[in-house]
Structure 1
Amino acid sequence: MQKPIQSSGERAYDILRTEKANPLDAIFAPKSVAVIGASEKAGSVGRTLLWNLISNPFGGTVFPVNPKRHSILGIKAYPTIFDVPELVDLAVIATPAPTVPGIIAECVDTGIKGAIILSAGFKEAGAEGIALEQQILEQAHRGKMRIIGPNCLGVMSPRTGLNATFASTMARPGNVGFISQSGALCTAILDWSFRENVGFSAFVSLGSMLDVGWGDLIYYLGDDPHTKSIVIYMESIGNARSFLSAAREVALTKPIIVIKAGRTEAAAKAAASHTGALTGSDEVLDAAFRRCGVLRVNSISDLFDMAEVLAKQPRPKGPRLTILTNAGGPGVLATDALIAAGGEVAPISEETSASLNQLLPAHWSHGNPIDILGDADPQRYTKALEIAVKDPNSDGLLVILTPQAMTDPTQTAEQLKPYAQIAGKPILASWMGGADIAAGEMILNRNHIPTYPYPDTAARIFSYMWQSSYNLRGIYETPVMPVFDSASGIPDRNCVEKIIQIARQAGRTILTEFESKQILAAYGIPVVATCVSKSEDEAVQCAETIGYPVALKLFSEIITHKTDVGGVQLNLKDAEAVRHAYNAIKLSLHDKLQHDPHYSLLSTQHSALFLGVTVQPMVKMAGYELIIGSSLDAQFGPVLLFGTGGQLVEIFHDRAIALPPLNTTLARRIMEQTQIYKALKGVRGRKSVDMDALEQLMVVFSQLVVEQRWIKEIDINPLLASSEQLIALDARIILHEPDVEEDQLPKLAIRPYPTKYVSKWTMKDGTPVTIRPIRPEDEPLMVQFHKTLSEQSVYFRYFHLIKLQSRVAHERLTRICFIDYDREIALVVEYQNPETQTREILAVGRLSKIHGTNEAEFAIVVCDRSQCQGIGTELLQRLLQVSRDEQLSTITADILVDNYAMQKVCEKLGFHIERTDDPTVVKAEIDIKTFHPEN
């Protein structure tokens, strides 16, 4: 049998994974620490820091550094870092800001790989502080040093005993990784954690995030086996792409809960477009969190409550909660809180109701909340719970107990213990009262049933759990392949580029309605027929060609909101009406220029204000007016908007926001968050809008925004949607200013599909194929691909056999297909049968960056029947070219020692092959600088 061409090196979802040292280990798991600025002065940061390190043994050595003292706290001190007799892993710096760049330079010279800068006085102090930060970064990059801070509290690793902070106490060890930008909040959280008995796997104060940011720490804690959940106090997002990339990957296995300060809309409104007026930076942040599976909460208690409940209970599959209570009032409170937080009361099925009728007294509530009455004993509670939990309409249960004469809180809790993990539904409890319920509350908590003193809190926590499920489900769902009519030349990018360049060369930033619609049409978005007329006679001629009734709209290179200046005339039924409308638009604009201060400022550009009118047919179909748009956010770049459109769009404020690029799943998600979505699916006898077509249109619109980076703002308002068709009645596009250079254009927060890596190629036997990056829509093709692999192919790829059922599991293939192109690139070799037009994948090559480094691992697997066709060599060569484009330094792979074919391919392309500690495995490695593509 021919040796297949494979290698190992995918991501965490693979069974075998090479352990790699993370640069942040120098900070979180140092073997030696230098305290630079250590002091004997009572109450000083340097003294508190040194005392914390030596009084909480972490298994390493501490070296005080102070040029003025021989010893500090009884420990020998050293004048400089050069005088320390051993290699130091971590330097913790507590000296005045101006001294820090020089200290960092000395640390780099001695080989220190990690530093925590506690000192303040940097960018928060103004220009001088910013200059100091730049000097620090230059020195750190020279030695590949990672830095936390400056202006931070420090870092604790409670499980190992490391306390590199100047906090007054050490955090309890536990399973929560806590990251905060606020040092003051850290100390408050620390005090709170002792009262609430919350423990931490890591406790990190980030400070100014000069170097180490959210993404670095999320990846690090994601790989940490002791961290079960990550909670974050955030003041600013920093590197948005890094955060989103890390959070999306880690949130699939560990919950990430964020509290973000500042919900007010701080971003300036963009008055030139409806979309700009409707999007605020905080709403965009919410959309970003949804996109990567992060849960946002509003209070510190919710932050840790969610960390606890998501570690103890399964996430609900839907928003419907069943409430079981022995008192009506608490049940009503829970219901109000549930609905206010976006949850739903689960309807009780007929079967459930019949079973409860047989169990409960006649006066039970006969609905949800299920009031089992105040005399309920433990047996009534458990039997009612057994019935309610089986109801298919319910996604979770909340059990409320108020101490009454017949109530036994402790015994009821004992009876509920077996239901801690039942039917994949979360079970929450609210034991209300004081000392009488304490024992029962403790029993429930010890058995992984979270308890809350108030039922409204528990209901809100359930809604948060559903939000978390909803966010993650968007990552797991397999989208549908978007439809493009390549035969008709759609999208016509050349047409769009020409329109934009003509406008830019003329110094214009606003495209006319006609130009805007041409761009939409170039991407296959249906637009209403539009005829430009520069005189009354031309308008009449256009109207008669189109057919009455028609609409006339102002044709201008300056004004975007035509209705604001009386620039729209509708339902014109004859030539006379068209002539009258033409002059009415012209007169109305003239009146605005004369009397409205806002428009009078434009009078100097009169020649561009009125260029005539556009004539369009009146669309004779009933439908819904929608708005689809995109504008810029200061933190996340281009963002998308969908909602109820028309003239009152800013009044209704029914809209949702998402980050591009979209696929069909994400397109549906943004629509689901609006009120109009329910109507679009059909109400009161009206047919549903073609939702599949609307999803496709959203995906195409997203692609337009992603590809046409010169577009600053764009909206379609209205997009008329009915069961028969979708059609853009009006469009508005604003370009970036003429003085903006291409390298200054805003970047997307999420890297789009890398089309530059798509190209045709021919196998040795002459078979034409396409090599392209993998897409989320490829999951069905990947299922078929795995069916073509022999046991030997699987063994060479994964180093042991994995059953087909495991390899094609939806959760696994989702992670393989729906990748972050900023973190990894997977190239597939696709063959399309010319007769049947069916597609299949013949091979996959994957390049994955290693967290915290500038290195990557590669993996290649080729289906058995396509081996020996040069595919392995071609894929590896392309992955090396990707590595060069991404400015990576080193590429490695572990290869089974008897996989000679893969080793031969690596050697051919310049890899160095060496033995490892495992006699069955060799390591292939190449310095990208030495790679030279074959001609």
Structure 2
Amino acid sequence: MSVRNLRQLFAPGSVALVGATERPGSVGATMLRNLREGGFKGQVYPVNPKYDSIGGLRAWPDVASLPAAPELAIICTPPQTVPGIVRALGELGTRAAIVMSAGVATGRDARGRSLKQAMLDAANPYLLRILGANSAGLLAPGIGLNASIAAGGATPGRIAFVSESGALMTGVLDWARTRGIGFSSFVSLGESADVDFGDVLDYLASDGGTSAILLHIESLRYARKFMSAARAAARSKPTLVLKAGRSLEAAAAGACLSGVLATPDDVYDAAIRRAGMLRVYTTEQLFAAVETLARAKPLYGERLAILGNGAGPVVLALDALQYGGGHPAVLQDETVRKLRDMVPEWRGDGPLNLRGDAPPERYHDVIEVLLQDPGANAVLMIHAPNAVVDPADVARAVAPLAKNSSRNVLGCWLGVQSVLEARTIAAEAGMPAYRTPEDAVNGFLQIVHYRESQNLLMQVPASVGDGEPDREKARRLVREALAKGRYMLADPDTKAILEAYGIPVVPTRAAATPEEAVRAAGEIGYPVAVKILSPDVAQKSDVGGVTLDLDSAEAVLAAAERMRRRLAELRPNARLEGFIVQAMARNPEAHELIAGAATDPVFGPVILFGQGGLAVEAAGDHAVALPPLNTVLARELVARTRVARLLEGYRNHPKADMDAIEAVLVQVSRLVADVPEIVELDINPLLADSRGAVVLDARMRIAMADRSGSTLDRLAIRPYPAELEEVLPWAEGTVLLRPIRPEDGPAHVAFFNALTPDDVRYRMFVRVRELQPAQLARFTQIDYDREMAFVAIRPGPDGHDETLGVGRVVADPDNISAEFAVTVRSDLKGKGLGRMLMDKLIAYCRARGTREIVGEALPQNAPVIGLVKKLGFTVGPLDEDEGVRKFWLNLR
């Protein structure tokens, strides 16, 4: 990831336009006109050897002749010229360029080299950043910069819009101007040869002029880079995604059902959800959502109270709420009594119809009562204009409630001209305003979905089971199969690998002949099921290859012989490798589920869960998630399926053991992370009831892993780096230094509570009484790809691990500088823990290639200042403005 020199791209002080011209209709002429008419105050240098002046500005024959290095260059010349121009700009000192030229990606230079690669090679020695090629440009309305082909520019605002499509850029800008929507920046990535979504997200996440980020995505190449940047951006400001091309994406092809069911759009949806972003499906929804979220207050529940001055609109709103999966408010008896006094016609449940002649005071009084009821998490007020009541008076009555309440009050003002003043009053009070009841409900549901994704980032998962999986056994079994040229593993082999990860399986044996099947049945115990074992038959029941409830040796022998004859008749070319013998799993109340894994070409391994059995494809009930999973993420994956409602229990069917189902999903996630040769995995059915979950049938596809890089590079999110764990001797025995995990939340709270107020102030520079959920999540749920926190732990008196100290380091996106902090439990100072954690952080940063490690401390924090001096840090003087002393260590 890199934000190097992106400041020159987004906020340049000067611009050179290479390819400027006066030829009407040309890109060069359009760009020059937009640069001059946009209000840009910096120097503009037209470059074209055919002109002495262009549009009243002096023209320069080439880049080398420019009087100064422009901070940004715009290149709109033939593709063959681009690499040479980029090299000349780099030599001059320019550090950012927008390449508008098309054909760079497909063209070749005289040496047969790709023009795209030649361009990147020319830019690399100078760290010159390239937007494009084939970009439609960039707008920064705050500084009057219209470095794009879009006519008319953009209104300044606090929304950043990033798109791959130049055509969408011009259309959206025109659409936004008519609605008064402003932008902090508007970016067309083009072909993303250098600057891509990840880079731009990293820059915008820390841009103080941007309060929300909108992405229009057609495709991605670097999943891990995108996920790290997206997760960081979504934590700091609303980040919304419009994913294009859903109907063009083919379903995944695979030998296992998981590979077929996990479509590309399912995977993108999982990635967007995992990053804490909100997905929308139309451009209108995109801007409606950002307007809603920009005004939204924290939402602590999902129940919406609806009121209005007519039956039709409030019923439409209720329908939209229920069909959208939302929940109406559930009011307390005292609230119902008060409201019936105000609205006698109301029956006591459902939306409130205040009638068309309802005065502004009635709106105010009803909303005031609703806002006091814990069963109404938000309120939607609908007003249809009429000749009796002035909509502006209604807005004036409810605006103070919306402004001062801790809950969301949404307004729907039906009509256009007659409600303009009411909309303005509502907007000034921070009250989201909508044109239709359906739009208003969708706005509320967007708040719900966005908060759900954000809350998911703040939950602390429970640990899963006891002990570690037998990774080496699983890897050995896979290697042995590959050595024999076996790439599809049938049920017995797959179950042996699953058992190594502690996943419960039905006792299963493989048998080469009917006679061996009889012996296997005797070892397992009757009754048993017998199935054919053939690499050429995906669905055994299609050829009568399954017989259940066999309770004797004679029955097993007869069934095996019968299945062998039937296979020869129906599939004469199918190979019969033998038979599978299983213990019968007798439980008519068990749910048939599917759990599995597939490999997406962009995001790598994904985990799938849903309704299983023979009708799995017809049911179409499944959800996808990115590994690694923990219990919270596994629970969320299950909750996104329809079968989840059945698992909660119904009639005389008890609730399924959700912990057992989640444990299977977590272990499947660990398995695909640990064993890169696993391409696909089907567990179908996974039988689940109130007593647990057990694998009935399973199959797996494996392949030789790509060893060119880390085996973890194929994962979109880096899993827990167990290789960094280290046990060290300590003054009080031994201590384990390891990366922090989300499951460390309770121990981290206990650690924080054991700190003295001064130690907390030394760490946070302010006095903090307790950790808030968002802080705890931020401390324990880290992105291992760009930051690290090591905890020093030992077993506590209660048998659970206790945290003794924490060392944390966060590198910039370019991995040039990393900022650290170390905190030791107040009663354990002076025993060497701080030095151990610092040594661990320094070694980690050196191994990553970080150039320097930096920190700061209050001047009263003498122990830390003394420690870093001993470690060779340079300690600066007191910074009078910030009240801290800064220190740094060159790691090279």
CA 1:127–1:701: 2 relative to 1, 3 Å: farther
CA distance in 2, matches of 1:179, 1:108: 26
Q: After superposition, give the CA deviation of every residue in 1:413-448 in whole Å (9 maximum; x if it has no partner).
A: 111111224553322222112432222222222222
The answer to whether the 8 A contact 1:163-1:170 is kept is: yes
Q: Shift in Å at residue 871 of structure 1?
A: 3.0
Letter in 2 for 1:734: R
Letter in 2 for 1:870: G
Letter in 2 for 1:804: R
The answer to whether the 8 A contact 1:551-1:618 is kept is: no
**Aligned pairs (5 A) from 1:771-810:** 771-798=737-764, 800-805=765-770, 808-810=771-773
CA distance in 2, matches of 1:882, 1:710: 28
The answer to whether the 8 A contact 2:251-2:262 is kept is: no
Q: Shift in Å at residue 59 of structure 1?
A: 4.1
Equivalent residue, structure 2, for 1:263: 246
CA distance in 1, matches of 2:253, 2:680: 9
**Aligned pairs (5 A) from 1:271-310:** 271-310=254-293
CA distance in 1, matches of 2:885, 2:854: 11
Equivalent residue of 2:246, what SS? coil
Equivalent residue, structure 1, for 2:52: 70
Equivalent residue of 1:470, what SS? helix
Equivalent residue of 1:264, what SS? helix
Q: Shift in Å at residue 376 of structure 1?
A: 1.8
Q: After superposition, give the CA deviation of every residue in 1:279-326 in whole Å (9 maximum; x if it has no partner).
A: 110111111111111111121121111111111122533333222122
Q: After superposition, give the CA deviation of every residue in 1:349-398 in whole Å (9 maximum; x if it has no partner).
A: 43332222111133x35432222223322122222222233332323222
CA 1:110–1:405: 2 relative to 1, 3 Å: closer
Q: After superposition, give the CA deviation of every residue in 1:791-831 in whole Å (9 maximum; x if it has no partner).
A: 44344434x342232xx222112111111111211111112
**Aligned pairs (5 A) from 1:557-636:** 557=535, 559-594=537-572, 600=573, 603=574, 606=575, 609-620=576-587, 622-636=589-603
The answer to whether the 8 A contact 1:30-1:89 is kept is: yes
CA distance in 1, matches of 2:868, 2:35: 47
CA 1:312–1:733: 2 relative to 1, 3 Å: same
Q: After superposition, give the CA deviation of every residue in 1:135-185 in whole Å (9 maximum; x if it has no partner).
A: 122222211222211111211111122222232222111111111111111
CA distance in 1, matches of 2:875, 2:46: 44
CA distance in 2, matches of 1:461, 1:72: 49
Equivalent residue, structure 1, for 2:695: 728
Letter in 1 for 2:221: G
Equivalent residue in structure 2 for 1:650, among 610, 617, 621? 617
Equivalent residue in structure 2 for 1:855, among 817, 820, 843? 817
Is residue 2:472 matched to residue 1:494? yes
CA distance in 2, matches of 1:304, 1:113: 33
Equivalent residue in structure 2 for 1:818, among 777, 781, 793? 781
CA distance in 1, matches of 2:312, 2:107: 54
Equivalent residue of 1:420, what SS? helix
CA 1:685–1:268: 2 relative to 1, 3 Å: closer
Equivalent residue, structure 2, for 1:229: 212
Q: After superposition, give the CA deviation of every residue in 1:590-609 in whole Å (9 maximum; x if it has no partner).
A: 22322xxxxx3xx4xx3xx3
Letter in 1 for 2:794: Y
Is residue 2:183 matched to residue 1:200? yes
Letter in 1 for 2:359: D
Q: After superposition, give the CA deviation of every residue in 1:548-571 in whole Å (9 maximum; x if it has no partner).
A: 221112234554433333221111
**Aligned pairs (5 A) from 1:710-721:** 710-721=677-688
Equivalent residue of 2:45, what SS? strand
Equivalent residue of 1:39, what SS? coil
CA 1:906–1:592: 2 relative to 1, 3 Å: farther
The answer to whether the 8 A contact 1:122-1:130 is kept is: no
Q: Shift in Å at residue 38 of structure 1?
A: 2.0
The answer to whether the 8 A contact 1:154-1:204 is kept is: yes
Equivalent residue of 1:441, what SS? helix
Equivalent residue, structure 1, for 2:351: 369
The answer to whether the 8 A contact 1:270-1:277 is kept is: yes
Coordinate RMSD, CA, aligned = 2.5
Q: After superposition, give the CA deviation of every residue in 1:194-227 in whole Å (9 maximum; x if it has no partner).
A: 2101111111111111111112212222212221
Q: After superposition, give the CA deviation of every residue in 1:485-505 in whole Å (9 maximum; x if it has no partner).
A: 2xxxx4111211111011000
% of aligned pairs identical? 38
CA 1:567–1:897: 2 relative to 1, 3 Å: same
Equivalent residue, structure 2, for 1:131: 114
CA distance in 2, matches of 1:816, 1:744: 26
CA distance in 2, matches of 1:624, 1:468: 31
**Aligned pairs (5 A) from 1:238-257:** 238-257=221-240
Q: Which has the higher mean CA deviation after the structures are superposed, 647-656 or 680-689?
A: 680-689
Equivalent residue in structure 2 for 1:390, among 372, 377, 398? 372
Equivalent residue, structure 2, for 1:354: 337
**Aligned pairs (5 A) from 1:25-174:** 25-123=7-105, 131-174=114-157
CA distance in 2, matches of 1:803, 1:882: 29
The answer to whether the 8 A contact 2:760-2:768 is kept is: no
Q: After superposition, give the CA deviation of every residue in 1:456-496 in whole Å (9 maximum; x if it has no partner).
A: 111122112211111111111111122232xxxx4111211
Q: Unaligned stretches of 5+ in structure 1? A: 1-19, 595-599, 931-935
Letter in 2 for 1:293: G
CA distance in 1, matches of 2:3, 2:253: 46
Letter in 1 for 2:843: Q
CA distance in 2, matches of 1:677, 1:556: 33
Q: After superposition, give the CA deviation of every residue in 1:713-770 in whole Å (9 maximum; x if it has no partner).
A: 012111111111211111111102x48556497711111111111121112x152111
The answer to whether the 8 A contact 1:531-1:616 is kept is: no
CA distance in 2, matches of 1:286, 1:23: 32
Is residue 2:712 matched to residue 1:749? no
Equivalent residue, structure 1, for 2:462: 480
More relative contact order, 1 or 2 (CA 8 Å, 6+ apart): 1
Letter in 1 for 2:769: L
CA 1:760–1:592: 2 relative to 1, 3 Å: farther
CA 1:665–1:613: 2 relative to 1, 3 Å: closer
Equivalent residue, structure 1, for 2:488: 510
Letter in 2 for 1:767: G
Equivalent residue, structure 2, for 1:14: none
Q: Shift in Å at residue 23 of structure 1?
A: 2.6
Q: Which has the higher mean CA deviation after the structures are superposed, 221-230 or 519-528?
A: 221-230
CA distance in 2, matches of 1:639, 1:739: 16
Q: Shift in Å at residue 31 of structure 1?
A: 2.0
CA distance in 1, matches of 2:846, 2:581: 50
CA 1:537–1:338: 2 relative to 1, 3 Å: same
CA distance in 2, matches of 1:253, 1:559: 51
Letter in 2 for 1:638: P
CA distance in 1, matches of 2:105, 2:644: 46
CA distance in 1, matches of 2:705, 2:461: 39
Paired residues, what number? 888
Equivalent residue, structure 2, for 1:659: 626
Q: Shift in Å at residue 896 of structure 1?
A: 4.9
